[in-house]
Amino acid sequence: MTEQKYKFLSTPRRPVEDRRFVAGRGKFIADLDRPNMLHVAPLASHYAAAVINGIDASAALAMPGVVDVITGAELAAAVQPLMNGLNTPNVRRFPLAVDRVRYAGEWVCAVVAESRALAEDALEKIIVDATPQPFILDAEAALLDTSAPVHPEHGSNLLLDRKFVWGPVDDDFDAAAHSLSFSVTWGRNSTVPIETFGVLAEWNGWDQMLDIWASIQMPKYADQIARSLDLPGNAIRVHYDVDVGGSYGVKRGIKHSVLVGYIARKLGCSVRLIEDRLENMRAGDAHGPERKFDITIAFDQDGTVRSMKMRALDNAGAYAGRAPFQLGKPISAIVGPYQINSVAYHALSVTTNKTVQEAVRGFGQAPTNYAIETAMDRVAEYLGMDRLALRQKNLIRKDQFPYLIPSGSYYDSGDYHAVVDKVLTAADYPAMLAERDRLRDAGMMAGIGIAACLEPSGGNSSFEPLLNQSNQTSTWMESCQVNIDALGKVTARIHTTSSGQGHETLVSTVLGEVMQIDPELIRITRPNSLESLPGNSPVGSRMAIMLGGAAARAGEKLKAKIMAIAAHRLGVAIDELRYEGGDVLANDGRRLAWDEMVELAHRQYHNLPDGMDPGLASFDIMQVPTGDALPVDDKVQMYPCYSFEFHLLLVSFDPIIGRPDIHSYFIGHDCGTVINPAIVSGMTYGGIAHGIGAALFEEFAYDTNGQLLTQSFLDYLMPSSHEVPAIQIVKHCTPSPHTVFGQKGSGESGYLGAPAAVSGAINDAVSGLGIHFEKLPIRMSAISDAIAAKTS
């Protein structure tokens, strides 16, 4: 038996957080109560577009229990527009509509009352005088000169129009034997947390302090609130010690927080706003990418893919939001796991009269992976080549790492072929093929789905300077503080909320590993923002790398101090000492116990090395590995680590009913060194479930009047446990050279490839009929209708 490399890392340990969640003892925004707390309900626009002529709130204000009605005009005069990260000064956005509404569901004004129910009663009494305007829903139509701009002051619907050429695209196309073109569309969907967004704000005029509790997953949240409210940064105190009931990108809440922050300050009280499901789905931060891809791909007869031209047109909705940048992240893995020599990328983001698009798990990577994987299937189909063999031919080889892709990022490490082989073995691929054929013989439609893709992780947001030159961001640090108290117990502080990622488990495991202390004995706390060091919250699959990294480094600093104390005490050089389970051993056999060193540090200054500060505390503010430089020539190293996943599944359906049944689902997953296996597997299972939703069920669909059709779980269908099959995870570990333990990100795993794989399986099932499904989600009705059209 080989000796285990780690004591706590990579071992099956129960996540710390599970205990309180399973027992129902989490502390969420809805669990908080403050004296005399007021409640807010926003009034939603019926129109997809309208000019607001006036708002008469007198009847509402006259109702008992109603305290105030805030309009967009009042708010716009008092707060700064919300940041959007682009240079589009005339695409201004406030928490409430100002002069114009731009999507159905947009907040027109907000009632403040003694209860949420009273506030909703009052909403019904508000009379909005509005004149409907022409509106636009389709992104291609929004591009046309003849279409009315959603923001007339901006002059057009274009938010972003950037063309990149990386490598000799024209030469590669000229040299290639074949090329083919196709289009696919990724439907608007989300991650749909169980808990909708909620925020509680309280203004204390004597302290000049705005206290905020919010269910956020949002980088630089406090800064953005302070900027919008024109308050000094240290007048906003965000309390991170709340639980967040799910997010994956959609718990941003800036507009909600600016609104309640303004109200709290205006009225000198505490105010809470918790979205109901309708508000969450039509006007929260729920909507993710809606993207059309036009792809031309150049390849040789032997299946070598040489080059790709990709136009990605994203429907951002009514304001800039985060949508344009979600076209930026995929640049860091624009060739997927393949050796594609050159790429032309045209990224377009347009405004339409739909709900604003915000960040969703993978930040645009899953749609792009779907496009790339569809391209691989199409090339195989064109050449009459096996889809698997085509991928194996083009996958980057193990000996090519670090591998520089045309758009400027080095992939850190991987062994893609090994992962694929492991999955094929685990799934008994020949048996799977035989089962597919048996199902086909029995009159079913059956298909196998294959997808390989990457999860860029731990980056520094450098898509922002790439897409907006005035942005000079070159760090996306994370931090951790560690203190050993006078009784010898370890407490670490983290500076963010968690929405299910298990940061307490992460940090206690990592610190336990470094300090060789049982993680169960390490306490993790979350101070408020004013007591925190800089950090960027859990976005971009970064916390294992960045928070894990900062925790490990803070732990190493403490260990170094302990060693120095021991060396001084024992009168030997540090390199004659060994750290073991918290104690220090000298080569001559003498031992200093943990408690003795704690005693020295906390009480016996006279026994510390000269000039050493007393106590045992450390902190670390960690810079993103590999992420120091700004873009040059449209290229940049965007992420330090690239996790790999390979999906393989078998689907069948009745040709008339068209309801896909997933028989078996295998995923090979390599995210480097795993810190907590249960958390990584949980991410992957959930990600695949989410991906099945994106492929088959979930869509924020609009009718021709611009009304959102899927405003509740009656119509926004997420897969349930019945639709998600048993999933076999096949693990592989290629450590990253850039991180403390070789870990990579896994927060988006599963989701990044599942939609492509499920789509591929369904397309394989109908391939004999010459059908291509080119839009997600692929509804059962569309499947059956397409087959009927071919066979009747």
Partner 1 sequence: MKPVRFDYKRPATIDEACGLLASDDNARILAGGQSLIPMLSMRLSRPSLLIDIAHIPELTAFGETETHIEIGAMVRQAVAQKSEFVKTHIPLLAKALGYVGHPPTRARGTVGGSVAHADPSAEIALVAATLGAEITYRVDGADEIFDASDFFIGPMLTIAPPTGCLTRLSFVKAPAVCGTGFHEVAPRKSDYALASAAAQINFAAGSGVTSIHLGIGSVGDFPERLDVDQLCGTPLDDSAIADAVHAAMQMVETVEDLHATAAYRKRVATELAIRALRDARGEISKDLNQ
Interface residues toward partner 1, by CB under 8 A: 116-117, 120-121, 276-278, 656-659, 696-697, 701, 709-710, 712, 714-715, 717, 719-720, 722-723, 779-781, 784-785, 788
Lookup: tokens for 84: 């959007």
State which residue, 576 or 703, has the beta carbon closest to partner 1.
703
CA distance 566 to 554: 19
Closer Cβ to partner 1, 117 or 521, answer by number:
117
Contact in structure between 331 and 264 (CB atoms under 8 Å): no
Q: Which of residues 90 and 115 has its CB atom nearest to partner 1 in the complex?
A: 115
Pick the closer one to partner 1 by CB: 87 or 712: 712
Residue placing its CB nearer to partner 1 in the complex, 636 or 727: 727
CB 191 within 8 A of CB 287: no
1-37 core/surface letters (b: 16 or more CB in 10 A; e: else) = eeeeeeebbbeebebbbeeeeeeeeeebbeeeeeeeb
| Helix, strand, coil % over all residues of the chain, rounded to 5 | 30, 25, 45
* H or E, element range at 642: strand 641-653
Contact 82, 94 (CB under 8 A): yes
Q: Least Å distance between CB 112 and partner 1?
A: 15
Q: How far is the CB of 72 from partner 1 (least distance, A)?
A: 23
Please tell me what DSSP assigns to residue 233: G
Smallest distance from partner 1 to CB 652, Å: 15
| Number of other CB atoms surrounding residue 152 within 10 Å | 11
CB of 241 to partner 1, least distance (A): 28
Structure tokens at 351: 């405004």
Minimum distance, C-beta of residue 467 to partner 1, in the bound complex (Å): 34
The Cα–Cα gap between 88 and 370 comes to 30
Element spanning 292, H or E: strand 291-299
Sign of CA pseudo-dihedral 620, 625, 631, 634: negative
Q: Which is nearer to partner 1, 425 or 720 (CB)?
A: 720
The residues, any chain, with a CB within 8 Å of residue 144's CB and separated by 6 or more, are: none
Minimum separation from the CB atom of position 712 to partner 1 (A)? 8
Compare residues 272 and 526 and give the one whose CB is closer to partner 1: 272
* Pairwise CA distance, residues 263 & 436, whole Å: 61
* Cβ-based nearer residue to partner 1, 107 or 325: 107
The distance of closest approach from Cβ of residue 124 to partner 1 in the complex, given in angstroms and rounded to an integer, is: 8
Shorter beta-carbon distance to partner 1: residue 285 or 698: 698
Preceding peptide of 337 cis, ω within 30°:
no
**168: helix, strand or coil:** coil
User: Residue 656 Cβ, how far from partner 1 at the closest point, in Å?
Assistant: 5
**C-beta of 138 vs 556, nearer to partner 1:** 138
Quick check: helix, strand or coil at residue 324?
helix
Q: Of 339 and 707, which CB lies nearer to partner 1 in the complex structure?
A: 707
Both structure tokens of 529: 């923002």
Question: Which helix (H) or strand (E) segment is 788 a member of?
Answer: helix 780-791
Residue (19 or 790) nearer to partner 1, CB:
790
* Complex with partner 1: residue 117 or 560, whichever CB lies closer: 117
Q: In the complex, what is the shortest distance from the CB of residue 676 to partner 1, in angstroms, rounded to a whole number?
A: 31
| Exposure of 755 in the CB half-sphere (CA atoms within 13 A) | 35
Do 321 and 357 form a contact (C-beta atoms < 8 A)? yes
| Residues whose CB falls within 8 Å of the CB of residue 722, separated by 6 or more in sequence, listed in order | none
The first and second tokens of residue 29, run together, are 């925004």
Closest CA to 774 of 695, 702, 688: 695
Distance CA 750, CA 49 (A): 37
Q: Minimum CB separation from partner 1 for residue 60, in Å?
A: 15
Q: Cβ closer to partner 1: 576 or 715?
A: 715
Q: Give 63 or 165: the residue with its C-beta nearer to partner 1.
A: 63
End-to-end CA distance of the chain: 63
> Are the CB atoms for 271 and 37 separated by under 8 Å?
yes
Closest distance to partner 1 from the beta carbon of 790 (Å): 13
CB of 786 to partner 1, least distance (A): 11
Q: Give me the least distance between CB of 580 and partner 1, in Å please.
A: 54
d(CA 763, CA 184): 13
Instruction: Sort residue 35 into left (φ over 0), alpha (ψ -120 to 50) or beta.
Output: beta
| Residue 288, CA distances (Å) to 127, 248, 444, 724 in order | 32, 11, 34, 22
**Residue 713 CB neighbour total at 10 angstroms:** 11
Contact between 190 and 288 under an 8 Å Cβ cutoff? The reply is yes
State the alpha helices, DSSP H only, in 617-772: 677-696, 754-765
